[in-house]
Structure 1
Amino acid sequence: MTKNVTRRAAIGMGAAAAALAATGQAAAAEGRTPPAATQVRTGGCAEAIRRTYLEQKVKAGGVWHAHIAMVDGAGALETVVADDADRVTHGYSVQKLAVAVAVMDKIDRGQLRLDQRLDLNADIILGGTGIYFLQTVWGDEVTVANFLTAMLLVSDNTAVRMCGRVVPALEINDILAAKGFTHTRVEPVANPNRFYLGVTTPRETHDLLWRLANKTILTPRSANFLLGILRWINGYHDGIRRTMSSAERSRVATKYGADFDDLGAARHEAGIMFDAAGAPTLTYALFADSLGHLDNYGSTHPAVQAHAVLGRTMFDAISATTNRTTRSRHHVAPFRPVDGG
């Protein structure tokens, strides 16, 4: 869903990098700790993530807004990178996480069911990413579980419209507001059941992910349903999970978003890494805009290459970390190929 940013958003986004640099320089001159990407807890693992983030950000170009946090040895979640983390920015398909949470919230309240069926007709089909538009013929009946899986696993755009049929745009925003999100919103249009995916911030995306992983934003059953889709190895592999084994990939729940606007290309990715025992250990919310290579949606885009390098660094950093304090864990079954039959 491509939508141009407003003039106000364009001015804000264009000034972000300069403001961040100026703030850091001023703080350094006064002997203070700069309050953006330079804020990081001490320790070799965090320092490696911070260094890699800064290197890859410069290499990829564009304007970045990011939040990365990881559990320390005592089990406390601490910020590793907070780079313009409160910037309100277009989330593109990363916003599908918030939409899915709103749908599951309505299920948790008994107003909707995962097995509820809706018709899938030609007039609702939307192109871009996904699978439904590839069918070329329609008339199916699909469950809520079906289109949520399509929306999160292969970022299906038609599935967004299907979500709007069961949770209209204004209701989605009301649910997100009730959960404490100030900026994370979809953008309503004339049709109450359709919307643009809207805006968020890296910090609020981190908050959504951490609460999802700890099963405090939804019931455990609903949280497990979404996490199972996001962690499955048939999902997105070009970025954070690119240089990982299948077992390593299954420990990462991730959602990618890509589009362009008047400022250039945007390449986003956000997710959660789990330790070997299934405890959430690290979150990342990486939003990059004003990039080049508008038509390259593959693994060779510079920002996506940066995600891959950073993903390997982050996963290695938590390889020896165990989150012993959490009461919430999530597991996925090991992948086993099946040869029909």
Structure 2
Amino acid sequence: MSMGISRRVAIGAGAAVASLAVARPASAAAPATGPDAIRHCYERQKTKAGGHWHSHVAAVDATGALQTVIEDDIDFVISGASVQKLFVAMTVLDKVDRGELSLGQKLDLPGSIILGGSGIYHLHGVWGDDITIANFLTAMLLVSDNTAVRMCGRVVPALEINQILAAKGFTYTRVEPVANPNRFFLGVTTPRETHDLLWRLANKTLLSPASCDFLLRITRWINGYHDGIRRNMSSAERSRIAIKYGADGDRRHEVGIMFGADGAPALTFAFFAGGLSDVNNYGATQPAVQAHSVLGRMLFDSIATATVPAATARQTVTPFHAVDGG
């Protein structure tokens, strides 16, 4: 694939290419979204965005087996930022599966626990609600609410979170305990372990099928994060991607699962990057986030019509329909 072609040259060449299109055998055209094209796009976007990237992408073949597409320093231990909230949510749902908690269980939301940054609870201005575990897990996963992390710590203390992570087979992924046993910093993970969580979640082996569906239903909903992977997509396309974004200082991460046309998991991605510039820009114009948007479009195009008859698990979401009150 050629690089460095100007727009003027590309337009001039376009007419010549079009004139040859009828005579050119279809088999001679290289797939625009095949593994080589994806890897080339990744390297180009990574270089353009700068920083230090650590990434894992895998796609499902016709037999339902995962095939690695990108493997870039996947055992690097990195601060996971808000990607860690997926792991925290998993530990809460693990206790739900074991009957020690229930999604309908209520906790109070006192003003003393409120954290700023991403989320919705700090915007209320007044507090004192009684909210369910399902409520704060939804806020934590859909809008990355920081206060919800503290709510999780009230039902699964930091040391227990790390014990559950270890029991689930995660070697490096941990939260960082502090003096208060019910609070913690979000800690570290690796692209390999994040991919492992995503693949097990997609195949509903990470937790009970009901708990996996709960996580996927929230992370696939179209009211979630759109600046990166899902930016240049229709609402229907966005709903086929389970997503979690993490950003803190010079780090911008995005991880998730793309589902095929039949609801089977078709592709997983875990993009972690640190040492980036434009550190105070948490919007769509941040260079790494722009890179995610280009990669997201290409990755989705590669599985847009995919079906996986051999898949052992499928997951669908209710189509989005606008509602005008009433």
TM-score by length of structure 2 reads 0.90
- Given the superposition, is the C-alpha separation of residues 246 and 44 from structure 1 closer, same or farther in structure 2, using an over 3 Å criterion? closer
Aligned runs of 1:65-144 on 2, under 5 Å? 65-144=54-133
Query: SS state of the match for residue 270, structure 2?
Result: strand
- In the TM superposition, what is the alpha-carbon distance from 1:47 to its structure 2 partner? 1.3
Percent identical: 69
The answer as to 2:302 corresponding to 1:322 is: no
Contact 2:74–2:190 (CA under 8 A) maintained in structure 1: yes
> 2:182 aligns to what?
193
Q: Distance in 1 between matches of 2:278 and 2:32?
A: 36
The answer as to 2:293 corresponding to 1:304 is: no
1:94-143: per-residue Cα shift (whole Å, max 9, x none)? Answer: 00000000000000000000000000000000000000000010000000
- In the TM superposition, what is the alpha-carbon distance from 1:44 to its structure 2 partner? 5.8
Contact 2:77–2:188 (CA under 8 A) maintained in structure 1: yes
Contact 1:268–1:286 (CA under 8 A) maintained in structure 2: yes
Contact 1:73–1:321 (CA under 8 A) maintained in structure 2: no
Amino acid at match of 1:104: L
Aligned runs of 1:217-256 on 2, under 5 Å? 217-256=206-245
1:296-338: per-residue Cα shift (whole Å, max 9, x none)? Answer: 0000000000000000000001123212211111010110000
Q: Distance in 1 between matches of 2:64 and 2:311?
A: 8
Q: Distance in 2 between matches of 1:44 and 1:280?
A: 18
1:239-268: per-residue Cα shift (whole Å, max 9, x none)? Answer: 0000000000000000000001xxxx1100
Q: Distance in 1 between matches of 2:134 and 2:182?
A: 18
Amino acid at match of 2:190: T
Task: Pick the aligned partner of 2:263 from 273, 278, 281.
Answer: 278
The answer as to 2:324 corresponding to 1:339 is: yes
Contact 2:33–2:301 (CA under 8 A) maintained in structure 1: no
Query: SS state of the match for residue 291, structure 1?
Result: coil
Contact 1:69–1:284 (CA under 8 A) maintained in structure 2: yes
Which shifted more, 72-81 or 305-314?
Answer: 72-81
1:279-311: per-residue Cα shift (whole Å, max 9, x none)? Answer: 101000000000010110000000000000000
TM-score by length of structure 1 reads 0.86
1:158-212: per-residue Cα shift (whole Å, max 9, x none)? Answer: 0000000000001011001001000011000000000000000001000000000
Q: Distance in 2 between matches of 1:106 and 1:75?
A: 30
The answer as to 2:277 corresponding to 1:288 is: no
Q: Distance in 1 between matches of 2:32 and 2:59?
A: 12
| Larger Rg computed on CA atoms | 2
Please, what is the CA RMSD of the aligned residues? Answer: 1.1
Query: SS state of the match for residue 256, structure 1?
Result: strand
Q: Which runs of 5+ in 1 are unaligned?
A: 1-41
- Given the superposition, is the C-alpha separation of residues 244 and 43 from structure 1 closer, same or farther in structure 2, using an over 3 Å criterion? closer
Q: Distance in 2 between matches of 1:291 and 1:226?
A: 30
Q: Which runs of 5+ in 2 are unaligned?
A: 1-30
The answer as to 2:255 corresponding to 1:266 is: no
Contact 2:121–2:145 (CA under 8 A) maintained in structure 1: yes
Q: Distance in 2 between matches of 1:167 and 1:112?
A: 10
Contact 2:33–2:298 (CA under 8 A) maintained in structure 1: no
Amino acid at match of 1:317: S
- In the TM superposition, what is the alpha-carbon distance from 1:43 to its structure 2 partner? 10
> 1:157 aligns to what?
146
> 1:3 aligns to what?
none
Q: Distance in 2 between matches of 1:289 and 1:321?
A: 32
Q: Distance in 2 between matches of 1:320 and 1:155?
A: 30
Query: SS state of the match for residue 286, structure 1?
Result: strand
Amino acid at match of 1:306: A
Structure 1: which 4+ aligned runs deviate by more than 6 Å? none
- In the TM superposition, what is the alpha-carbon distance from 1:74 to its structure 2 partner? 2.8
Contact 1:254–1:269 (CA under 8 A) maintained in structure 2: yes
